[in-house]
Chains A and B, each alone.
Chain A
Amino acid sequence: MPGIIGRDRFREVADAALELPGADDVEVLFLHEWGGLTRFANSEIHQSTSREDTALRVRVAIGGRVGVAQANDFSPAGAVVAARSAKEMADVVAPDPLWAGLAGPASFADVDRFDEDTAQISPGQRADSVGGLIAQVPEGYRAAGAYETQAMEVGVATSTGQTCWGPMTQASITTVVTGDEQASGFAERFAGTAGELDAVAIGATAAGKAVDSRSPRALDPGTYAVVLEPNAVATLVGFLAFIGFGGRDYIEGRSCFSGRAGEKVADETVSIWDDASGDGMLGLTFDFEGEPRSRVDLIRDGVFVDTVYDRRTAKQAGRTDGSTGHGLPSPNPQGPFPLHLFMGAGDASLGDMVAATERGLLVTRFHYANVVNPMESSITGMTRDGTFLIENGEIAGPVRNFRFTQSILGALSAVSMIGRDSELASEFFFSASRVPALKIESFNFSGASDH
């Protein structure tokens, strides 16, 4: 079984690149990933995988001219080859006027996010857990899903004196239970360790939702009050990050928040921030440029505060306090991105939200969302795997899936209740964020499907 390579060996390999002759500055980003995934469908394990890979990504700067090369040959020789290739590219380009240099010495929060048991979990242990999940599925129903365990170590070393290194693990179980009469139910759980996952409970939740969703009735599209479970909220938050919270889009007038600092953009109960060090979050506390990941308030009490920055974008913005520690692996023309999002919890239970809804929809999750108009923060997507009509404060029965086309900020401005529990929830395209359930008084469903 693969294991941690370690800070010392990383630094030893990185040094071979950092000593490249003729370069002003050199940065080495080291990624080492290993893990396994047990995938199941039709209540059988059908695809089970394991993989290990390393990457050395070397950025070379000469007078502001920058080139990058990556190789997965983790050795001093591999590092030298990548460094030379990066220099070859730097030699032929013009200086980047926004070049902000490399990270210097800085400390970062010491948060232990590595679990040896998760890193070393066996295929048999994953299979047994999947078996426990599938056992919750009633006769006539089928479970599909995946149990994934991942371990990673990341290192950044710069010729300007910064060395960061850290390991992390994460584990997730996702399942969809389906049956006749268009029954479909979903459940998932993300965590830093496999020990936090209860496969039986996840299976029972999805199975219960599938049974409850049999024979959904067709309902006309239109504007409804909605109760969104955390996974559906994660879609809204993930896309808002994609189209709005990146510093580059913001300062270039391409974000829905451009020019709106200090403006009310959501209900005053809504707060969203990014915090890699926060409780219950996954990941490391330094970014891919070796900068400490700072907590950044994005929306506080409904008011837009700021976006996130990497070194280059911070220079572009003229920020005196530099990067917020949200750089992605270079080169990254798209700019920085928040990978550790939180939405503040409230005081309501899901039951409270349903009870407070005269007529509306309970949405388990959204599917395949995409941007309609980034400047209006509008996106479209489908509901999936458990959509229910609420009438007079009670679940009245399942309904067929809807297409929504909705401004995210419009939805967040119509939030009336916030769940007291937050969950790490994934989005189809982005990383997981920690979010609560929401009740939103007005949400636009623009079309419907046949199931």
Chain B
Amino acid sequence: MLDIAQAAVEAARRAGADAADARVGTDETESLTVRNQVMEGIDRSTSTGIGVRVLKNGRWGFAATSRVEDDAEVARTAELAVEIARAAARLPGDPVRLTPVEPATDSWRSPFAEDPFTVPLEEKVALLMEATHKMQAAGATFAEGMLDLFRRSTWFASSDGAAIEQVVTLSGGGIQATAVGEDDMQRRSWPDAFRGHVRAAGYEHIRTIGLVEEAARVGREAVELLSAPECPSEVTTLILDANQMQLQIHESVGHPTELDRVLGMEESYAGSSWLKPGDRGKVRYGSPLVSIIADATLAGGLGTFAYDDEGVPAQSIPLVVDGMFENFQTSRETAHVVGQSSNGTMRADGWSHLPLIRMTNVSIEPRDGSLAEIIADTPAGIFMSANTSWSIDDHRINFQFGCEAAWRVRDGKLAELYKNPNYTGITPEFWGSCDAVAGREDWTVFGTPNCGKGQPGQVARVGHGASPARFQGVQVGVRG
């Protein structure tokens, strides 16, 4: 496959490209959904193709085709990419400037112990059948169990001489119990909402996440929520579970620190950012307890790789250090704006898309203590767990998140259960109110496999290491 990518680069050069790179890719998936012990969905997919990116007259062009085995079609696709770049250059504008990168020749595979695609289907089906049976037995109206397995193989070549082969394998699974009552519906999930906990790992990950072991509790809690009161509307101390912290980090730190958003390149779709290019080292993002890092080398992270889709090596970048904003996530095209080289965050949604700046593994650094100790240290407040809903404005300032369940914290203990909890805030004020972040023992690497960005729309798989944390003066219980 690498030879096809190299041939495409050569074809692009022959067509007049000033610079070119090409990615041949194959995505393989296997997905299972069991509901109430009925197989509702079992499917596999494979997709192979090539995407060619060129620079001509200072403008990008990108073209992709699935007909990767057809030499003439690959050459035509490369020529089309050049035509697209030439068309873009009809309009005035500053030419793209790329920061340099040392071309690499390398091969890398994400590690796993047990290939998830070779585990017998019967075993996977049996696991989900047992988990859904236990949730049903605990009273869930609808009990779902899900497995999602993914492998992406990429062969990258560039006119600089890079030749890189990478294979990433991901495994994810989860359970969800839904209880339906009179004009009400409540859900609990484990170990994460929205089809579970995905990691860069093999099937060994599935064996550790307790889909059967936690099923009865999850089913019970969904039923309990039906009779729980609504989360009150008040301004209070808020403790977020690690599974909600991951999305709080994703939306209110991960996206606003992407330099393409800051520079207006995403303005028309998902929006821009409240940060400005000159804000590095000058803007307080959060309290001194808040340190956040983008680490593309994190073990198990969905944003872990050896090289990004521009051939830039994976890096670990501090975004926020002790509450101060320090770095953006950058690309070869954007890094010069802040006087740096690319920190390697360009990734595409497979062979058919142009790479964009995508958060890698954006994680909060663990501090001290445990969730139990944070709760014990809280006289009054609300504890929320597991995301149900997210919304944030186009500058990533005003956000509102919903969770599956909340508990009153009274005198250092969890008290009554609440349903339909949510909270809202303003990004720097919220992070500025953070006065506790749990330590390594409660820090978990989560995966967000459905991060949307770009036009045409792309989906990225990104990671977040997160600990439970506490925030002061937060509005909870927003009602319509």
What residues of chain A have their CB less than 8 Å away from a CB belonging to chain B? Answer: 36-55, 65-74, 85-86, 88-90, 92-94, 96-98, 122-124, 126-128, 130-131, 134, 142, 144-146, 148, 174-176, 178, 252-254, 259, 330-333, 367-376, 378-382, 384-385, 401, 403, 405-407, 410, 444, 446-451
Contact = CB atoms under 8 A, between A and B. Distances in A.
Given A69-B43, A254-B178, 7 more contacts: A53-B49, A123-B61, A130-B91, A254-B185, A368-B270, A403-B393, A405-B480
Interface in B35-50: 35, 37-49
Given A89-B42, A124-B90, A382 B394 contact: yes
23 contacts: A45-B93, A48-B61, A49-B64, A53-B64, A65-B39, A66-B42, A68-B41, A85-B44, A92-B122, A92-B125, A94-B39, A130-B91, A144-B268, A146-B455, A148-B455, A252-B141, A367-B393, A367-B394, A370-B389, A370-B391, A381-B391, A401-B393, A444-B480
A331 B40 contact: yes
A145 B271 CA distance: 11
Given A444-B480, A446-B480, A41 B264 contact: yes
Contacts of B339: none
A97 B456 contact: no
Given A49-B63, A53-B352, A446-B480, A124 B43 contact: no
A50 B62 contact: yes
A42 B91 CA distance: 12
A448 to B, nearest CB: 7
A254 to B, nearest CB: 5
Of the candidates B42, B64, B93, the one having the most CB atoms from chain A within 10 angstroms of its own CB is: B42
B371 to A, nearest CB: 26
A332 B42 CA distance: 10
Nearest to A39: B455
B282 interface: no
A41 B259 CA distance: 14
Nearest to A371: B389
Of the candidates A369, A370, A385, A401, the one having the most CB atoms from chain B within 10 angstroms of its own CB is: A370
B264 A142 contact: yes
Of the candidates B86, B88, B266, the one having the most CB atoms from chain A within 10 angstroms of its own CB is: B88
A449 B241 CA distance: 26
Nearest to A1: B80
Contact of A447 (B120, B424, B479): B424
B420 interface: yes
B264 to A, nearest CB: 5
B398 A45 contact: no
Nearest to B63: A50
A87 to B, nearest CB: 11
A418 B480 CA distance: 23
Interface of B: 33, 35, 37-49, 51, 59-67, 80-81, 83-88, 90-94, 120-122, 125, 141-142, 144, 178, 180, 183-185, 263-271, 274, 352-354, 388-395, 397-398, 400, 402, 420, 422, 424, 426, 454-456, 475, 478-480
Contact of B87 (A70, A123, A134): A123
B63 A145 contact: no
B65 A407 contact: no
B397 A88 contact: no
Given A48-B85, A376-B480, A146 B268 contact: yes
Given A382-B391, A450-B397, A66 B87 contact: no
B152 to A, nearest CB: 14
B38 A94 contact: yes
A314 to B, nearest CB: 16
B60 A46 contact: yes
A371 B41 CA distance: 25
B46 A72 contact: yes
A384 B455 contact: no
Contacts of B402: 370-372
B87 to A, nearest CB: 4
A71 B46 contact: yes
A54 B64 CA distance: 12
A194 to B, nearest CB: 15
A254 B61 contact: no
Nearest to B80: A50
Of the candidates B49, B92, B269, B391, the one having the most CB atoms from chain A within 10 angstroms of its own CB is: B391
A124 B42 contact: no
B130 to A, nearest CB: 13
Contacts of B267: 41, 142, 144, 176, 178
Contacts of A370: 389-391, 402
A44 B89 CA distance: 9
Contacts of A89: 42-44, 121
B265 to A, nearest CB: 5
Contacts of B454: 47
Contacts of A74: 66
Nearest to B393: A382
B62 A48 contact: yes
Contacts of B64: 49-53
Contact of B391 (A47, A90, A131, A380): A380
Nearest to A51: B64
A407 B480 contact: yes
A52 B478 contact: no
Contacts of A380: 389, 391, 400, 422, 478, 480
A46 B265 contact: yes
Contacts of B80: 50, 123
Contacts of B394: 367-368, 382, 384-385
Contact of B420 (A126, A373, A401, A450): A373
A98 B37 CA distance: 13
Given A67-B43, A331-B33, A127 B480 contact: no
A448 B426 CA distance: 9
A88 B41 contact: no
A252 B84 contact: no
B389 A48 contact: no
